[in-house]
Amino acid sequence: MIVKSTTDKISVVLLVDDQPMVVEAIRRMLVNEKDIIFHSCSDSSKAIQTAISVRPTIILQDLIMPGDDGYALIRKYRQIEQLENVPVIILSTKEDPHDKSLAFERGASDYLVKLPDKIELIARIRAHTKNYLIQCERDAAFEELGHLQKQLEISNAELQKLTCQDGLTGIANRRRFDTFIRKECLRSFREKNPISLLLIDIDYFKNYNDNYGHLRGDDCICRVAKCLQQAVHRPADLVARYGGEEFSVVLPNTDIDGATKIATQLQKVVNEMRIPHEFSPVSDCVTISMGIACRVASELASPDDLIEMADRALYQAKNSGRNRHIISDLCLEPA
């Protein structure tokens, strides 16, 4: 659809009529009107093609023609996207109420007996054109509004993704972690299912950063993050960067045995990467330490309690020689 501004008020008229005398008479009526452009078509089989080509703002349609009559052509106009809303004025040789009723029923916008009065014809052409152009502008505005709304939704989704994604590693960030663990603790409380949390620390990362440089340090963090993300397979679980060289893994509906198995697997895959770390007292490659917490959430057990349990267990793992995981001794206590 080509939208013309209503301020231009240019009427593009297409007359579909097989009588040369009628075509010439109407052409003369309109020839001196600067705001009206006139086109004609005498062959009903070419009316559709001509209309699509000239893009009329109004069609003057002869009712009786060889081939498709006016009724059939109106029906065809209404089936084509470019023409479905273009106003059609039926031109007939007689003032027949039945013909009028049928014309409006088939989708005509107006009905005139030919040859119509010049002043009346021009007035109707301008009135129908104005209404049509207003409708086109309104439809275009709604279409653009829909497009903008869709773009806004996409932008908001991207923004939401960015606000929940760690800029260095691409995994979930601390903000996403905080939201997720709160939601899953509430679910644990409602459904009375256990929730587990792993807090992970890259062993002797300061030594790594100080000796290999910050670029290598960032690369190490990214490689460990990717490794952890790939090793945690369930869509319901969350791997997040907790801060600096620390990571967290939230495991909804997972008991202590399940959490321990995952912790063992995570240590294994990180060790298998064989990232050199000659400045680590526990290994010649990068290793991780983990604290494991698990409980069924209750009104008295907030996400902070679960985090504190895992954090204390991580502290014990680091004080016990690192490159290991420790289960919080509170896991066996009632929530």
Q: Give the pair of three-digit tokens for residue 293.
A: 């917490």
Among residues 144, 245, 278, 299, which one is catalytic?
Answer: 245
Tell me the C-alpha distance between 209 and 268, whole Å: 23
Tell me the C-alpha distance between 5 and 8, whole Å: 6
Tell me the C-alpha distance between 331 and 294, whole Å: 5
Q: For strand 11-16 and strand 58-62, is the pairing parallel, antiparallel, or unpaired?
A: parallel
For residue 115, cis peptide bond before it (omega within 30 degrees of 0) = yes
Tell me the C-alpha distance between 204 and 257, whole Å: 28
The question of whether 153 is a catalytic residue gets the answer: no
Tell me the C-alpha distance between 199 and 59, whole Å: 74
Tell me the C-alpha distance between 129 and 223, whole Å: 65
By three-state DSSP, how is residue 136 classified?
helix
Sheet holding 88-92, edge to edge: 36-41, 11-16, 58-62, 88-92, 110-113
Which ranges in 94-202 belong to alpha helices (H)? 97-106, 118-163, 174-191
Q: Give the pair of three-digit tokens for residue 258.
A: 């399940």
Contact predicate 266/247, CB 8 Å: no
Residues 6 or more apart whose CB falls under 8 angstroms from that of 99 comprise: 63, 90, 92, 111
Residues 6 or more apart whose CB falls under 8 angstroms from that of 136 comprise: 1, 3, 4, 85
- Any idea which residues carry the catalytic annotation? 245
